[in-house]
Structure 1
Amino acid sequence: MLDKNHRRWKELATGTFSLATDNFGLQMFLTRSISRFSKPQPPGELEKTAAEIHSFFIKYERLLAREISLISK
């Protein structure tokens, strides 16, 4: 699993890294995160959101094994 501070989590949060997934919960979670950054956010919000995404992946690591392998490349 990528480190919590790895740039990939911020890329997922902003939508600059597109992750193809069949997992509906992950799709909804990422869509919410990406839509948050369609308008300017206060300082620190990107880091907070990236940490939330990382935590989501930690919590559901077994269910998201395929997605983890995709983002770790």
Structure 2
Amino acid sequence: MLDKNNRKWKDIVTGKLELKTDNFGLQMFLKRAVTRFATAQAPGELEKTVAELHGFFVKYERVLAKEIAIISK
């Protein structure tokens, strides 16, 4: 699993790195995050969202093995 401070997490949350997934929960999370960061956000909001995404991956690590492999490349 990538470290929470890895740049890829920020790129995924802001939509700079598109992560293809079949997991509906992850799709919803990513859609909400990318839409949120389409406009300017308060300071600290990006770090908060990255922490939420990382926590989601930690919690569902077994289910998201395919996505983790893609991110880890």
TM-score (norm 2): 0.97
Deviation at 1:49, TM superposition (A): 0.6
2:63 counterpart residue number: 63
Moved >3 Å (runs of 4+): none
Residues in 2 aligned to 1:11 and 1:57: alpha-carbon distance in whole angstroms: 15
RMSD of equivalent CA atoms: 0.5
Deviation at 1:39, TM superposition (A): 0.7
Where do 5+ consecutive residues of structure 1 fail to align?
A: none
Residues in 1 aligned to 2:47 and 2:12: alpha-carbon distance in whole angstroms: 11
Q: How many pairs align?
A: 73
Q: How does 1:16-35 map to 2 (within 5 A)?
A: 16-35=16-35
Deviation at 1:43, TM superposition (A): 0.8
> In the alignment, residue 47 of structure 1 is paired with which amino acid?
E
> In the alignment, residue 40 of structure 1 is paired with which amino acid?
A
2:72 counterpart residue number: 72
Where do 5+ consecutive residues of structure 2 fail to align?
A: none
Q: Deviations over 1:13-56 (max 9, x none)?
A: 10100011111110001000111101100111111111110000
TM-score (norm 1): 0.97
